[in-house]
Chains A and B, each alone.
Chain A
Amino acid sequence: MLELLQQKLQSLFKNLRGYGKLSEENISGAIREIRLALLAADVHYQVVRDICEEVKQKALGTKVLESIRPGDQFIKIFHDALIEYLASEKQGLSTERPLRILLCGLNGSGKTTTAAKLALWCKKNKERVGLVAADLTRPAAREQLTKLASQIDVPVYAPEKEEKIEAFLSRALEQTKQDRLSVVIYDTAGRLDLDEELLKELQLAYSVVLPQEVLLVIDSATGQKGVDIVKAFLEKIPVSGLILSKFDGDARGGAAFSVKKVTGLSVLFLGTGEKVEAFEPFRAERLVDRLFGFGDIVSFVEKV
């Protein structure tokens, strides 16, 4: 894909060398290519439009260097702009202890798996971690979390039969305090953005647990509605960051990019497989590489 884009841009710019500055005329074709690449990656339409406009402004008037091909130079401008968009002030998780983390998201986005992954990651960082199975909706949700917890040897707090969510959460809160855990991760039921009732339940869970971190797990394959979906959650609870799951598939994860642009929420971690170890802190380069299906944009950009 990088090669393809390079080729296209090279031919678009082939007459450009020595002409001095990049002009409106000679970059419009390049902008068009980039626009398509972003849309194909499910970046939101409006966000694509904004980005293209900004990149255009940046590229306009840029001096064409004699030593490199203008197409490559353009890619670099574009790449740097994307990285800048993804740049975040928030680095890692809150340092407050005990730390309560609430995971939320759409059905099947990867919350339960991510709860275990995050627990393992915290455990490796010498935290005393516990997991709370607060999904009372999905069949076998609690068995799933219990099995994962035993794989990583972390205690799990689960509801009794018929126990209501509010009562259970208060109990879990108390027990995890008594057990002197430093990090407690709450797994919640999946819910869609239009489900008022379930979103209210989440609001309730939030008000009982008062977590310092509310992480929204979003699937890398999320489409154009990603931004609206996140906004629906944000209306109910103060989401503090994103975890982008299933990044090992071939989906581009463009929705995470639009969400960052529209809500300012950053991706903190990537889920990169089904196993509990398949989890890593987020680096902007990885998402930008993926947005374009670039193999190795980093070394390419360094060359430029």
Chain B
Amino acid sequence: MSFWKNLVGKFTTLIGQKEQVDWEAILIESDLGINLSQKLYSLLEKEKLLNRTDLAEKRIRNELIAILGNGNLSFPIGQPGVILLVGVNGGGKTTTAAKLAYKFKSEGKKVYLAACDTFRAAATEQLKIWAEKLELPVISAKEGADAASVAFRAYSQASQSQADYLIVDTAGRQANKKNLMLELGKIKKTLEKASGQVPLFVLLVVDGTSGSNVLVQAREFHEALGLSAMVVTKLDSSAKGGMIAAVKYELGIPTLFIGRGENLEALEAFSPEGFIEEFFSR
């Protein structure tokens, strides 16, 4: 049975003789967050669609399409264009760095990697193994080194060899740790200065199995750094990634890619239509 039928079945109760779908349950269970769930629910309520499953579904589809929009985002063109990956611990930054590098390389671009996670045990080794597999240069330093100076060195080298892209992996951090967020700001400033104020592309990497905290993460990283877009990983799980819509709805930050596996190919461009199709059918 499809996810949707399953879910609707689970949340349908026979009240009197009339079948009633618990729309609120369905929306919340998809991790759309409280605000967006309530907004959609009250739409259905106001338009008296709560008991009309098909029409209600259509209404939600349209609303989600409108929220997710179709803005065209493109990567920066610089010498090189810099993509800074940030996020909380274990979200998938390093893996996403490798996946992005693979994508650019397949498109014939020249890519450099910067291992700016000088903190976590074997974080640099992890990125190096990916770089080796990809046969791409990676700039790194030993554990405990200053992350901003690794970024600076990586920029200089990538720029000298006229790379198209520099992908910068950073250490995971919880957004409530002020000093760690400041360190990230420093990496960003260093890169901006090196590139002559060319704006960086700052990508927040979030775990698709996370719930409402994603909204907090997006808000705080956005405040600290100014986010360009989001990547949502681990959507090869049973999670629905509803937070994609919540973050777009509340903060206007779009999702650019989704991750669906541990291998290099498992990165997909995000499409609102695809998201909604899955939302209703998986």
A contact set with B: CB distance below 8 Å:
36, 39-42, 44-46, 106-110, 137-140, 143-144, 146-148, 151, 192-195, 219-226, 228-229, 232, 246, 248-252, 254-255, 274
Contacts and interface: CB of A to CB of B under 8 A. Distances in A.
A144 B238 contact: no
Contacts of B42: none
Interface residues of B, number: 44
Contacts of A225: 31, 209, 237-240
B122 A249 contact: no
Given A139-B130, A144-B122, A221-B211, A45 B234 contact: no
A229 B209 contact: yes
A108 B212 contact: no
Interface in B116-138: 119-123, 125-126, 128-130
Contacts of A193: 237-238
Given A107-B262, A139-B125, A223-B214, 6 more contacts: A36-B34, A42-B211, A42-B212, A143-B125, A224-B28, A250-B176
B21 to A, nearest CB: 14
B51 interface: no
A226 B31 CA distance: 11
Interface majority SS (helix, strand, loop, mixed), chain B: loop
A174 B190 CA distance: 52
Nearest to B206: A221
B41 to A, nearest CB: 12
A218 to B, nearest CB: 9
A77 B174 CA distance: 33
A246 B174 contact: yes
Contacts of A219: 90, 207, 209-210
A109 B126 contact: no
Interface hub of B119, B129, B239 (most chain A Cβ within 10 A)? B239
Contacts of A226: 211
A71 to B, nearest CB: 22
B63 interface: no
Contacts, number: 137
B88 interface: yes
Secondary structure at the A interface, as helix, strand, loop or mixed, is loop
A147 B237 contact: no
Nearest to A248: B174
Nearest to A49: B25
A221 B238 contact: no
24 contacts: A45-B29, A106-B237, A107-B92, A107-B234, A110-B90, A138-B126, A138-B262, A143-B122, A148-B121, A192-B209, A192-B237, A194-B237, A194-B238, A219-B90, A221-B88, A221-B207, A222-B210, A223-B211, A225-B237, A225-B240, A228-B238, A246-B90, A249-B213, A255-B211
Contacts of A248: 174, 176-177
A251 to B, nearest CB: 4
Contact of A249 (B29, B176, B242): B176
Contact of A221 (B176, B210, B240, B242): B210
Contact of B90 (A109, A143, A250): A109
B211 A194 contact: no
B126 A45 contact: no
Contact of A250 (B121, B211, B213, B237): B213
Q: Which 8 A-B pairs have the closest CB atoms?
A: A223-B211, A108-B90, A249-B174, A42-B211, A144-B122, A251-B213, A139-B129, A147-B121
Contacts of B34: 36, 39-40
B174 A45 contact: no
A223 B243 CA distance: 10
B273 interface: no
Contacts of A151: 121
Nearest to B25: A45
Contacts of A44: 29
Interface in B193-252: 207, 209-214, 216-217, 234, 236-240, 242-243
